[in-house]
Structure 1
Amino acid sequence: MVSGEILEPYADALMSLAQSSDKVERIGEDVAALLNLLKESPELDEFLSSPIVKAEDKKAVLQRISGDQFDPYTKNFVNILIDRRRIIFLEGICKQYQTLLRQLKQTVLAEVTSAVELSESQQQSVREKVTAMTGAQQVELDTKIDPELIGGVIITVGSQVIDASLRGQLRRIGLRLSSST
C-alpha cells in the first residue's frame, strides 16, 4: 500500500526531474549516498522520522551533513519530503528510484551472499554468470556475508536463486540420502 501510494509517485517524480535536467546518474549517486547515510546512522534515520523534531532542524542537519555533496535538485527534493512530512519514506523512495534507474539502464540487481568477502575477480565472475543468465546489459551486486554458508555463494536475481554454497550442497546430499533409504 505504501509503495503504490507514496514511494512510487515520489520516485517517479524524482526520476522525471532527473531525466528532464539530464542528471539521472548524478541524482542516482546522491540517492546511493543518502541510503548509505541512513544505513550507517540509525540515529539520523530516527531523527528524520521523529514527528517531534521541527522541519527546519531536519533541513539544517541534512545541510550540515551533506554540505555541497548533493545536487541542488536532490536537496530540494529532500526538503519537499520534509515539508510534506514524507521524510520517513526517504529510504523507500531512494530504493524505488534505484529500481527505476536499473530499469532505465537495463541493469539487474543480484544479491550475493557468501561465507567470506568476495575478491574483485570473484565478483566479476558472478557478474558474468548473471549477465549470461539474464541477458542484462549491466549487473549490480549487493553483497552480504553469512559465515554459516561455510563456503560458496548464493545468488538471488529477482525470484531466481542459485545456491552454490557448501551448506546448500550438504543439504541436497542429505535429502538424497534420506530419500534413498
Structure 2
Amino acid sequence: MKSGSFSQAIVEPYADALMAVAQEHNLVEAFGNDIQVILNTLEASEDFKKLLLAPLIPESVKKDLLNSLFANQVNPFIASFLNLLVERRRILFLEPICLKFQELLRKKNRIALAEISTAVGLSDPQKEALTKKVLELTGAASVELAIKLNPDLIGGVIIKVGSQVIDASLRGQLRRLTTGLLANI
C-alpha cells in the first residue's frame, strides 16, 4: 500500500466521522468554522505543528497544549476529537483530516474550490470575474477562491478547480509557444 493511500485510509474515516457527528447534532457550519480556526493555527505556527508531530513529546503535553489553545474557541465535540487523535496517535494527520472535512463541507454546500496562482495580487473586479467564470464551469452554488502568489509565473493566472487546470499564465503561454515552434522544426 502506498503511503498516500495509507494516509487516505486514515484521513477519510476520521473526516467522515467528524462530518457525521456534525450532521447528527446540526453543527455542520459551526464545525466548519472550528476546523478553520485549527487550520489557521497550524498555518501560523510551524513550532506548534512540529510539537504535535514530535513522537517524543508525551500525550499529556500535547493534550494540554490543544486544550489551552482550543478549549474556549471550539465546540466541545471538536476539543474531544483533538484529544482522541492524540490518544490514538493520529494527531499527525490533523491537518489532512481538517482539509478533508473542509472538502466534505464544500461538497455538501455545493461550493467549488478554485485554487488560483498569480504573479501579482488580484483586484476585486478580477476576483469577481474569476468567480463568475468558475461558477459557469462548475455549476456550483458558490465559489471559494484560494489565491496564492507565485512570482515565477511572470504574469497571468493558473486556475485549478478539482482536476481541471486552466493555465493562462505568461509562463504557460511561452511554454506552449516553444512546444509549437519545436513541433514545426
Which TM bucket (shorter chain)?
A: over 0.9
| 2:131 corresponds to 1:127 | yes
The one-letter amino acid of 1:93's match is I
**What does residue 113 of structure 1 align with?**
117
Question: How many angstroms apart in 2 are the aligned matches of 1:179 and 1:132?
Answer: 34
2:33 corresponds, among 16, 29, 35, to 29
**Larger mean Cα displacement after TM superposition, 47-56 or 85-94:** 47-56
Structure 1 segments unaligned to the other structure (5+ residues): none
**What does residue 156 of structure 1 align with?**
160
TM-score, length of structure 2 as denominator length: 0.91
Question: How many angstroms apart in 1 are the aligned matches of 2:43 and 2:86?
Answer: 19
2:15 corresponds, among 11, 14, 22, to 11
Residue 175 of structure 1: CA displacement? 2.7
**What does residue 170 of structure 1 align with?**
174
Give per-residue Cα distances to partners, 1:57-89, cap 9 Å, x unaligned: 112112222351111111111111111111111
Question: How many angstroms apart in 2 are the aligned matches of 1:72 and 1:103?
Answer: 24
Question: How many angstroms apart in 2 are the aligned matches of 1:125 and 1:25?
Answer: 27
Secondary structure in structure 2 of the residue aligned to 1:124: helix
Question: How many angstroms apart in 2 are the aligned matches of 1:23 and 1:166?
Answer: 44
Give per-residue Cα distances to partners, 1:94-115, cap 9 Å, x unaligned: 1111111111011111110000
2:101 corresponds, among 92, 97, 100, to 97
Structure 2 segments unaligned to the other structure (5+ residues): none
Mapping of residues 48-87 of structure 1, within 5 Å? 48-87=52-91
TM-score, length of structure 1 as denominator length: 0.93
Secondary structure in structure 2 of the residue aligned to 1:153: strand
Secondary structure in structure 1 of the residue aligned to 2:22: helix
Q: What is the RMSD computed on CA atoms of the aligned residues?
A: 1.5
Question: How many angstroms apart in 2 are the aligned matches of 1:27 and 1:77?
Answer: 11
Secondary structure in structure 1 of the residue aligned to 2:135: helix
Secondary structure in structure 2 of the residue aligned to 1:91: helix
Secondary structure in structure 2 of the residue aligned to 1:56: helix
8 Å Cα contact 2:71-2:79 kept in structure 1: no
Question: How many angstroms apart in 2 are the aligned matches of 1:101 and 1:155?
Answer: 21
Secondary structure in structure 1 of the residue aligned to 2:148: strand
**What does residue 151 of structure 2 align with?**
147
Question: How many angstroms apart in 1 are the aligned matches of 2:7 and 2:141?
Answer: 27
State the aligned residue count.
Answer: 181
Shift >4 Å, 4+ stretches:
none
Question: How many angstroms apart in 1 are the aligned matches of 2:70 and 2:64?
Answer: 10
